[in-house]
Amino acid sequence: MRFHFIIGVTIAFVSVLFACATPAVPPPTTVPTIPPSPASIIATTVPPPITPTIDSSSSALRVKISSGELEGARENNLNVFKGIPYAAPPVSELRWREPQPVAAWNGVRQANAFSPACPQPNAKIQGAGTNGPQSEDCLYLNVWTPNTDPNAKLPVMVWIHGGALVIGDGGSPLYDGAFLSQRGAVVVTINYRLGHLGFFAHPALDRAAPNGPVNYGLLDEIAALKWVQENIAAFGGDRNNVMIFGESAGGQSVLTLFASPLARGLFHKGIAESPYGIPSNTRAKALQAGIHVADALGLPGANATLEELRAVPAEKFTPLNAKNQTLAPVFILGDAALPEPILDIFQKGNQAAVPLIIGSNSNEATVAEGFGIDPADVIKKMGIFKIALKPLYPGVNNNEQLGSELVRDLVFTSFVRRMSDLHSARAPSWRYYFSYVPANLKTQWALGVPHGGEIVFVFNSEDVTPEYKGVFTDADRAMAKRVGDYWFAFASTSSPNPNGQPQWAQNDSRNDNTMEFGDTIALQKNFMRARLTVFIDLLKVLGKLLDRE
């Protein structure tokens, strides 16, 4: 009986969690001394970060790509190219079309400023989102490189931003690629279409292209990876050593790209940060949402024409986030990019057979709070059934902490273990749990690292991100460097084991290994195993129930 009740609460929670618009979340304010690494650290054979030869001449700021010549700028001892178009503007007749090739240009195109973000609500959650310029003409990417020599063969790191598939952009200061690039990588950040302009179905589209695409934002991500394959050598990158990584909806994108038959061969490893175990939308549900959107725009619902829909100004779509209109934060099943559920593809072993790192944070429930849901209320509504959770959470007595940990484990931690175990049968898989809380944020992050809280450590971007300026101590900076070293080692060698750091062993269904990035960095055995096993069984039932809707 207790399991049936928890399933019911979980279904209700998941349904409500992403049904509303994304409100603003107050930024971090203030941050722990990291104990030295244990003396028992195991050295590995991974080479140290590359020290590239830097060409400081003005000619290094110009590169020739397939569509024309670009001129970037010199920043932080790097060559930086911003606002590079990787697809034609998806406007007018190209709205809700597969991304089309960029028109070639004559002369030298300046690439020294970020492009506008794709249309989205003006909201921010843990760095995702923008209050800056927006435009439907938004399919651009940015490149940081220490060496534009085509023979440099540097590892390539392609970042996919999060934001529930409705907010975010690749030009956020949080995602500044300078510090990862200074290690010897070519770092790429991208924009992709969001919200109703990026993930949309409607009878008019089906009439124009039966069983055609619906995941336009996903197709944008694939187009960006194709651009990387075609052009990254001009920036010193190795097209045969491309890593994709992203957080939240970006982490979900990584798993989806692993599953998508259209993305095969475009990347060689991936890191999924805080992906979530929420099933994708069916095409039928997406069609109904599209009809409701047309109604809300004052068009004749299912009878709206494609011409009428394409004539609506882009900004008219962003406020339409009622429960029956939004598809966030998941993809849509039933097109060439995602023909089957991600989980089904992993269970069949049909995903890309390349190395994967996957993990989550110690207080992922903050994403629920960002959507106006109080995890403590979830526990209160359980009443006497809360007793069923006690054996799974010994020592946790208050509703706030219990609710936060329950939400975290049901939606994130369990899903991470499940996907890592499944992928380990196909290719190497590593699992992590991020629990390091900066000393000046211990009050604000009292229940642990919030959703997105690890990103600043991955990018070492604390000095350029407004929310973190003046917050990090020397110990926090040291921690950020260590985390970035792990991510860079994986990008370079397909093994997340930098020299001089604790050894990160692979995870699989028989060897339960989780690297915890906490006050110390240490490998944990059988991490939350009993609890996660219970929840994985619940999630299997939940998935079947939601698939029937």
Q: Which residues are catalytic?
A: 248, 364, 451
Between β-strands 154-160 and 237-247, what pairing exists: parallel, antiparallel or unpaired? Answer: parallel
Q: Are 536 and 528 in contact (CB under 8 A)?
A: no
Tokens for 502, please give them: 């604790």
Is 141 strand, coil or helix? strand
DSSP string, 24-39: --PPP----PPPPPPT
Name the packing angle between helices 529-547 and 414-424 (round to 10°).
Answer: 90
Q: Are 79 and 109 in contact (CB under 8 A)?
A: no
Report CA 480 to chain centroid distance, whole Å: 19
DSSP string, 296-337: HTTS-GGG--HHHHHHS-GGGTTT---TTT--TTS-BSSSSS
DSSP string, 99-129: --PPPP-SSEEE-BSPPPBPS--S--BTTB-
Rounded Cα–Cα distance for residues 384 and 82 (Å): 56
Contacts of 44 (CB under 8 A, 6+ apart): 495, 497, 498, 499, 501, 503
Rounded Cα–Cα distance for residues 361 and 368 (Å): 14
Other CB atoms within 10 A of residue 386 CB: 19
Rounded Cα–Cα distance for residues 186 and 178 (Å): 9
Of the candidates 211, 126, 209, the one whose C-alpha atom is nearest the C-alpha of residue 173 is: 126
Identify the H or E element spanning 198.
Answer: helix 195-198
Q: Are 166 and 194 in contact (CB under 8 A)?
A: yes
Rounded Cα–Cα distance for residues 248 and 140 (Å): 21
Distances from the Cα of 104 to the Cα of 67, 116, 142, angstroms? 4, 20, 18
Contacts of 473 (CB under 8 A, 6+ apart): 31, 32, 33, 438, 439, 440
Between β-strands 429-434 and 356-361, what pairing exists: parallel, antiparallel or unpaired? Answer: parallel
